[in-house]
Chain A
């Protein structure tokens, strides 16, 4: 049960991790707006379902809202030349108020309402109890495949080059600003989609559900890289999803058995942040141990 739950969550939150991979790894843009776009997805999809719209339509609405919010961060960073971190924080803060307005209250209960999982599992005739796993997996793998195909196109290749060397991209006739904006937009679209599915999975949308999204996303990306050592884009995307599953499993285990060690749910973010910190500091620590400088 614990494993099934972690697998389901890992796939649903894996969409968010794919988005973080796109901004953080592909574009080298540490985008904090995801802390706002994850609950944005939940809020938009939640209120649409609440008002009686089809849950699949609601999820698509969340995707659209995420794409827009990401494009906004991209424009702040590239056209208005606001430093990337700050651009993300600004979007995140604005979204906090906006999400409250969208939902009209801090918490929107969705239990008993139709979900995209149920709707789609009817379409594919999936047996009861397996809806979240199969539909979550369909979304995660389907979007990972789409993202893979995209990154192999001319446009996607140019986007990868942008994170690497924007001057080269410009010298070859493309605008690094537009490519960055497009990439951040797609990234936040994925994150909002993930937020929408997560809220339907857990049965509520909450304005506070986005706190720490970026850290959880980074942890998934980094855990995937360390565990699976992927080579090539396809393996990298799968490793991110794998990392997300492992991360959710670790959290479930911590919550289940952590109490005996005096560990509570409120310590979760501290531990996660420490793991990310260690992973990010690893290269510097390694060279410091070898006595290198700089």
Chain B
């Protein structure tokens, strides 16, 4: 088992009241799982990725990677096991450094020696890797990343995040800020790299078609819980309309949920219902 998130709760206080962004959530990922994650705004998707990556500490529960309890590890220590790409292309790269320097930092993950960042050998290797993106970036190794377009930057960020073949790849709506053509390109690059390195991946997306087309597992989150978890077979049978319907169903239950806040039984039932629904479809 690559990842085990065990009964994790993360509560934020909001204007005096407290609410759970993650509510006793449990999730296992096996080697080679490529799970897409959907869920309405505020469902807790980003919070889940933050807890896994270590930029947020859970209030309760445990995070295990490769069987090791990493709950207390700081983010930079977990980084050796995890690759991450954010929604904002600006977040994944350093704009004042060159393309080559960014890649070299990613390749030397956690390295902090006094060796030159760019040796001739490493430069040649990085040019090769960049050429595999087929975006013509290999000729722009010496250029500042600030000069790249959003799509080029995000493609670079995906390449950087996968360069050291992390045990786990976390993608948070990483194509959402791009225009459709670039989003397609970056998604294609992501699928290619994930397949090539057989990376275990958790990909948050707000696009139902993407969630269905990509990966071999589908997870739906709602109010800090996983309300739907489909395997490859179930996922293949699902169409976008079915998914939208499921989404509505969960959304409609909101009122009922509001009447019975903190009634875990009710939420649990809802999850069961969604699961049953999925099988009916």
Q: Which residues of A contact B (CB under 8 A)?
A: 150, 152-158, 160-161, 163-165, 167-175
* Bound form: Cα–Cα A129–B75 in Å: 56
- Cβ contact within 8 Å between B117 and A171: no
A and B contact pairs by CB, cutoff 8 A, 28 listed: A150-B114, A152-B117, A153-B117, A154-B105, A154-B108, A154-B111, A154-B117, A155-B113, A157-B97, A157-B117, A158-B112, A160-B94, A160-B101, A164-B94, A164-B95, A164-B96, A165-B90, A165-B91, A165-B94, A167-B86, A167-B91, A168-B92, A171-B75, A171-B79, A172-B105, A173-B80, A174-B112, A175-B76
A163 to chain B: closest CB distance in Å? Answer: 8
- Cβ contact within 8 Å between B101 and A157: yes
User: Does B245 reach chain A (CB closer than 8 Å)?
Assistant: no
A176: nearest chain-B partner, CB-CB:
B76
Count: A-B pairs, CB below 8 Å: 85
* Bound form: Cα–Cα A171–B102 in Å: 12
* Bound form: Cα–Cα A23–B160 in Å: 27
Q: Which residues of B contact A (CB under 8 A)?
A: 53, 55, 74-77, 79-80, 84, 86, 90-97, 101-102, 104-106, 108-118, 160-161
- Cβ contact within 8 Å between B55 and A170: yes
- Chain B residues with Cβ below 8 Å from A174 are 76, 110, 112
- Cβ contact within 8 Å between A161 and B97: yes
* Bound form: Cα–Cα A167–B108 in Å: 16
- Chain A residues with Cβ below 8 Å from B160 are 172
- Chain B residues with Cβ below 8 Å from A152 are 116-118
The 10 closest A-B pairs by CB, nearest first: A173-B110, A173-B79, A161-B94, A157-B117, A164-B94, A165-B94, A173-B109, A164-B96, A153-B114, A155-B112
* Bound form: Cα–Cα A153–B80 in Å: 20
Partner of B115, one of A153, A160, A171: A153
* Bound form: Cα–Cα A175–B54 in Å: 13
- Chain B residues with Cβ below 8 Å from A155 are 112-114
- Cβ contact within 8 Å between B84 and A154: no
Other than the given A157-B105, A171-B79, A173-B79, 4 more pairs (CB < 8 A) read A150-B114, A155-B114, A172-B110, A173-B80
- Chain B residues with Cβ below 8 Å from A164 are 94-97
* Bound form: Cα–Cα A171–B104 in Å: 14
B55: nearest chain-A partner, CB-CB:
A170
- Chain A residues with Cβ below 8 Å from B112 are 154-155, 158, 174
B interface: dominant SS = loop
- Chain B residues with Cβ below 8 Å from A165 are 90-91, 93-95
Partner of B114, one of A154, A160, A172: A154
A interface: dominant SS = helix
- Cβ contact within 8 Å between B97 and A156: no
B150 to chain A: closest CB distance in Å? Answer: 15
- Chain B residues with Cβ below 8 Å from A171 are 53, 75, 79, 84, 92, 161
* Bound form: Cα–Cα A168–B53 in Å: 13
- Chain B residues with Cβ below 8 Å from A150 are 114
B264 to chain A: closest CB distance in Å? Answer: 34
- Cβ contact within 8 Å between B117 and A156: yes
Partner of A153, one of B106, B116, B161: B116
- Cβ contact within 8 Å between A161 and B116: no
- Chain B residues with Cβ below 8 Å from A160 are 94, 96-97, 101
B79 to chain A: closest CB distance in Å? Answer: 4
- Chain B residues with Cβ below 8 Å from A168 are 91-94
A27 to chain B: closest CB distance in Å? Answer: 11
- Chain A residues with Cβ below 8 Å from B95 are 164-165
B96: nearest chain-A partner, CB-CB:
A164
A174 to chain B: closest CB distance in Å? Answer: 6
- Chain B residues with Cβ below 8 Å from A172 are 79, 105-106, 109-110, 160
- Cβ contact within 8 Å between B75 and A170: yes
B82: nearest chain-A partner, CB-CB:
A171
* Bound form: Cα–Cα A168–B154 in Å: 13
* Bound form: Cα–Cα A103–B173 in Å: 59
- Chain A residues with Cβ below 8 Å from B53 are 171
Given A164-B96, A172-B106, A172-B110, are A154 and B101 also a contact pair (CB < 8 Å)?
A: no
